[in-house]
A and B are shown apart, each in its own frame.
Chain A
Amino acid sequence: AQSVTQLDSHVSVSEGTPVLLRCNYSSSYSPSLFWYVQHPNKGLQLLLKYTSAATLVKGINGFEAEFKKSETSFHLTKPSAHMSDAAEYFCVVTPIGTGTALIFGKGTTLSVSS
């Protein structure tokens, strides 16, 4: 069975400091992995995706994530947080070749203080 675990339900950082949102996955197949962001009263926006190409994936708004098969991790990072980064972040997996259903993690709420 495929699953994702987001290790922190809430992360708080100061503006200008690095962001690390942790995600571990479990998949019997080579997975596709995504990070989505949800701002209040908004839909889910794709930040970045990994689909078995480069292990370091760059996304929008300065975010990036590294796929580490040995650690079954796909952590999301950003060198310097901005106030507008405050949102809910979801790590998502879909196994290649076995359907289109996305499996979401529980989400991590990122708070950014000035």
Chain B
Amino acid sequence: EPEVTQTPSHQVTQMGQEVILRCVPISNHLYFYWYRQILGQKVEFLVSFYNNEISEKSEIFDDQFSVERPDGSNFTLKIRSTKLEDSAMYFCASSEAYNSPLHFGNGTRLTVT
């Protein structure tokens, strides 16, 4: 069964550095998402992406964050000037169509020191 893949599985970075989290969505899916889960807290929506542009974003997704689909397969989340509170598990997801169930990757655990 096709799946969403995320790399790396664990990323450690120093405060103030930039990180790029990578995702390869399922190939025939059209909608792409990033969610995050801070340890012990709820899974939170960050952003959705469709047709090469952001279709929806949450209050969390401020100017520190950006997303890109640099080629036909990858979907990236860039976090600039990382802060300690950015430490979390970041999940990428994709869906075939609007309101179709989301398929999630295994996540990237980001640790900011």
Contact = CB atoms under 8 A, between A and B. Distances in A.
B106 interface: yes
B75 interface: no
B106 A90 contact: no
A100 B98 contact: yes
Contacts, number: 53
Given A100-B98, A104-B42, A105-B42, A44 B91 contact: yes
Nearest to A106: B42
Contacts of A96: 99
Interface in B18-53: 31, 33, 35, 41-45, 48
Contact of A43 (B58, B98, B104): B104
A87 to B, nearest CB: 14
Interface in A64-114: 90, 94, 96, 99-107
B108 to A, nearest CB: 11
B106 A41 contact: yes
Given A99-B56, A101-B56, A42 B101 contact: no
Nearest to A101: B45
Contacts of B102: 44, 46, 102
Chain A contact-residue range equals: 20 to 34
Chain B contact-residue range equals: 20 to 34
A32 B99 contact: yes
B91 A43 contact: yes
B45 A103 contact: yes
B101 A34 contact: yes
Interface string A26-37: 000000101010
Contacts of A32: 99
Given A43-B4, A106-B42, A100 B58 contact: no
Contact of A44 (B31, B95, B104): B104
**Which 9 A-B residue pairs are closest in the complex by CB-CB distance?**
A44-B104, A104-B43, A101-B45, A43-B106, A43-B104, A100-B48, A46-B101, A99-B56, A43-B105
